[in-house]
């Protein structure tokens, strides 16, 4: 595939095959000149651009940091959560990839349509519950035998964690996460059609000495209304707010008080380093400006006016004759 990066061992094997004659370099050149045809799987439709996937990754990196802080405070133990990957796949493929018995939190995110699925690996879920019950955070995978008390403890814990989802999404949508269902068997859960494209963000999770994955499944129907907000242009644009008249007047007043240097340049000269080192009192440096030529007047080291020297009330002065042509009018 174009853009595929070979490992060093693969490169060595390829060079060895060419040198021994197993592969012909000319045939490789012919293959490169032939038109490549990429097979498109209509069941695995790519409905999100790489740019949008990167934006979702940034949002959930923030979510992972918020979850780390939340669970660290709740469990009073070492917790580390970080984004491992973000990909778009069919919903059916996601369901097949998770354990047959696991913790499934179905979240409604009004005002957006659809629901989000948060799958928590049983090792992680039981480690959390063990810590909440006063244990060391030991994980015992017996998810099929969840009691009503265990179910209530887990669902309440994750429901409080969803407040962090609201904060992480605040940059693109003002959502109100609500736990609508708690399930342990993914086969009993059908949120969207099997071929519907979903974005799956996988979070590496470590609680004490136990580690596992938390997967967040977001269907396309949820993100569809806010897809334009997932582009780089939206993240980089800045809202221009109109300033109040009082603020504008105060800024103008402060600008009028600002002091800038005004320099009247009599002329310049270039001399050799040797001449500069031998300068002494009484020496004369010839400038490139005639006495009858107009002088350049600079404001803040920027040429603004043309003037002529003179005297005013027995003091040296300069009279402005004209403005310097060129440049922006706003700079004058």
The residue ranges of every structural domain in the chain are 8-38, 43-236, 259-331
Top-level CATH class of 43-236? alpha beta
Note the pLDDT of residue 25: 62
Structure confidence by residue, pLDDT tens digits, 107-117? 888 888 888 99
Band of pLDDT at residue 186, cut at 50, 70 and 90: confident
CA angle 225–226–231, rounded 5-degree value: 140
Note the pLDDT of residue 41: 57
Flag the least confident range among 46-50, 252-256, 294-298: 46-50
Quote the percentage of the chain above a pLDDT of 70: 80
Structure confidence by residue, pLDDT tens digits, 168-181? 888 888 888 888 88
- 136 and 163 Cβ atoms separated by less than 8 Å: no
Any idea which fold 259-331 has?
A: Surface presentation of antigens (SPOA) (2.30.330)
Structure confidence by residue, pLDDT tens digits, 111-139? 888 889 999 888 888 888 888 888 776 76
pLDDT over 80 (residue 330) = no
End-to-end CA distance of the chain: give it in Å, rounded.
Answer: 58
Average pLDDT, the chain: 80
Flag the least confident range among 4-18, 63-77, 208-222, 312-326: 4-18
Note the pLDDT of residue 238: 46
pLDDT over 70 (residue 152) = yes
Band of pLDDT at residue 327, cut at 50, 70 and 90: very low
Per the model's pLDDT, the better-predicted residue between 41 and 127 turns out to be 127
**How many Cα atoms occupy the beta-carbon half-sphere of 275 within 13 Å?**
8
- 265 and 295 Cβ atoms separated by less than 8 Å: yes
226 burial type by CB count under 10 A (0-12 exposed, 13-18 middle, 19+ buried): middle
């Amino acid at each position: 595939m174009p853009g595929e990066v070979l490992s060093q061992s693969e490169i060595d094997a390829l060079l060895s095959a060419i040198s021994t004659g197993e592969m012909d370099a000319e045939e490789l050149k012919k293959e490169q000149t032939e038109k490549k045809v990429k097979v498109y799987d209509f069941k695995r439709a790519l409905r999100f651009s790489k740019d949008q996937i990167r934006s979702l990754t940034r949002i959930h990196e923030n979510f992972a940091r918020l979850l780390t802080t939340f669970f660290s405070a709740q469990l009073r133990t070492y917790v580390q959560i970080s984004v491992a990957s973000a990909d778009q796949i069919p919903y059916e493929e996601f369901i097949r990839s998770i354990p047959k018995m696991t913790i499934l939190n179905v979240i409604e995110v009004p005002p957006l349509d659809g629901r989000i699925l948060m799958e928590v690996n049983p090792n992680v879920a039981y480690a959390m519950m063990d810590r909440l019950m006063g244990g060391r955070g030991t994980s015992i995978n017996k998810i099929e035998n969840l009691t009503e008390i265990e179910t209530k403890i887990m669902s309440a814990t994750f429901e409080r964690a969803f407040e962090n989802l609201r904060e992480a999404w605040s940059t693109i949508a003002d959502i109100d996460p609500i736990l609508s269902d708690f399930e342990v068997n993914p086969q009993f859960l059908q949120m969207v059609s099997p071929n519907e494209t979903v974005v799956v963000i996988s979070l590496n999770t470590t609680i004490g000495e136990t580690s596992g994955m938390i997967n967040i499944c977001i269907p396309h129907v949820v993100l569809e209304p806010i897809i334009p907000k997932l582009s780089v242009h939206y993240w980089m644009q800045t809202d221009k707010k109109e300033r109040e008249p009082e603020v504008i007047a105060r800024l103008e007043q402060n600008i009028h008080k600002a002091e800038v240097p005004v320099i009247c340049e009599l002329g310049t000269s270039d001399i050799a380093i040797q001449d500069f080192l031998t300068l002494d009192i009484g020496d004369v440096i010839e400038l490139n400006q005639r006495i009858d030529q107009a002088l350049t007047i600079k404001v803040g080291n920027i040429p603004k006016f043309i003037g002529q020297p003179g005297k005013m009330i027995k003091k040296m002065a300069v009279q402005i004759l004209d403005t310097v042509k060129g440049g922006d009018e706003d700079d004058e």
